[in-house]
Amino acid sequence: MKESLISIDGLCSRYKIFCKSNQATAISKRTIHGWRENRNFPDPVLSRPRTFFSKDDVKKWEESNGYDRLLESF
């Protein structure tokens, strides 16, 4: 079975609700990197040439942090 993936750009757009500015259209890639270091965000499954994450891993992280109620399902 093929693993379902989401790009880092897709995640940045997905988490725009966490932006402090009403003008922002997405969080930064640096924020995702910080979450990996400090908030147990999953590591990417591919990182060259573009960064991709497993949707299943991301969904588990969202559920464990209570974000699944704030965000639409994949």
Query: Does 73 have pLDDT greater than 90?
Result: no
Question: What is the tens place of the pLDDT at every residue in 22-52?
Answer: 767 789 999 999 999 999 999 999 888 899 9
Residue 4, SS3? coil
Smallest CA-to-CA distance from 14 within 35, 45, 46, 1 is with 35
Predicted pLDDT of residue 71: 81
Query: Does 74 have pLDDT greater than 80?
Result: no
Report which DSSP code applies to 23.
T
Instruction: Kindly report the pTM of this predicted structure.
Output: 0.86
Instruction: State what percent of residues in the chain have pLDDT above 90.
Output: 64
Task: Write down the domain spans for the chain.
Answer: 5-64
User: Mean pLDDT over residues 44-65, rounded?
Assistant: 94
